[in-house]
Amino acid sequence: MKKLEENFLLAKKQDRRGQKALYDMFSAKMLAIANSYVNNLHDAEDILLSAFMKCFTRLNECRDWKSFPFWLRKIIVNDSVSFIRKNKNILYVDAEIADECSDEDEEQLKEINIEELFSQMPVGYRLIFNLYVFEEKKHHEIAEILNISEGTSKSQLSKAKKWLAEFLKAKENERRNTETIKI
């Protein structure tokens, strides 16, 4: 924590060593966050670099070194969402689906490669799912961020949950088939 405070204060003075140290401390985690939204490492790297440039030019807006990681994360998420809105055609369908993930599905999730899961999840589902689950946004906030209705946000989250349940079932079937073949 002491290093974070020192580097934050140096970076605020436009010190390149402090900026590099902050980049080194946070770039891997922020890259993973950006990639969880855009599902393309090259785009995520572009978002990361752009977000750090924005961060270092606006560092005076972040008042306290303790809030820096959260402030930076917010920039990454906002830039990722903006990238998706500008570069992807996302189809939102207004329809309610009441399926939820079962406890069994949640147990299987521990064995699933999360990167694989997100790489296969449809963009619209992934975007809403990330904002709701990982960023803890409410549906009205998601609707405002994405310029969609609150009902669409709820519908897409429901569909993401259904998609997730189907994905987990398919993985379980694959696992069972592989075990059967081995026997």
Four-CA torsion 36, 38, 40, 46, nearest 10 degrees? -110
pLDDT of residue 111: 58
What pLDDT is recorded for position 25? 95
| pTM of the full structure | 0.64
Enumerate domains of the chain plus CATH numbers. 2-87 (1.10.1740.10), 103-182 (1.10.10.10)
Query: What integer pLDDT is reported at residue 94 of this predicted model?
Result: 43
CA distance 125 to 114: 15
Q: What's the CA angle centered on 84, arms 50 and 109, to 5 degrees?
A: 105
Q: Crossing angle, helix 2-12 and helix 68-87, to 10 degrees? A: 60
- Give the Cβ contact number of residue 156 at 10 Å: 31
Q: How many CA atoms lie within 13 A of 140 on its CB side?
A: 0
DSSP string, the chain: -HHHHHHHHHHHTT-HHHHHHHHHHHHHHHHHHHHHHH--HHHHHHHHHHHHHHHHHSGGG---GGGHHHHHHHHHHHHHHHHHHHH---------------HHHHHHHTTS-HHHHHHHS-HHHHHHHIIIIIS---HHHHHHHHT--HHHHHHHHHHHHHHHHHHHHHHHHHHHHHHHHH-
Write down the pLDDT at residue 103: 55
Task: Please give the radius of gyration of the chain, using alpha carbons only, rounded to the nearest integer.
Answer: 19
* Residue corresponding to tokens 């606006």: 58
* One pLDDT digit (tens) per residue for the chain, 183 residues: 789 999 999 999 999 999 999 999 999 999 999 998 888 899 999 999 999 999 999 999 998 899 999 999 999 999 999 898 888 655 454 433 334 445 554 554 455 667 777 788 888 888 899 889 888 889 998 888 888 899 989 999 999 989 988 888 887 887 777 767 765
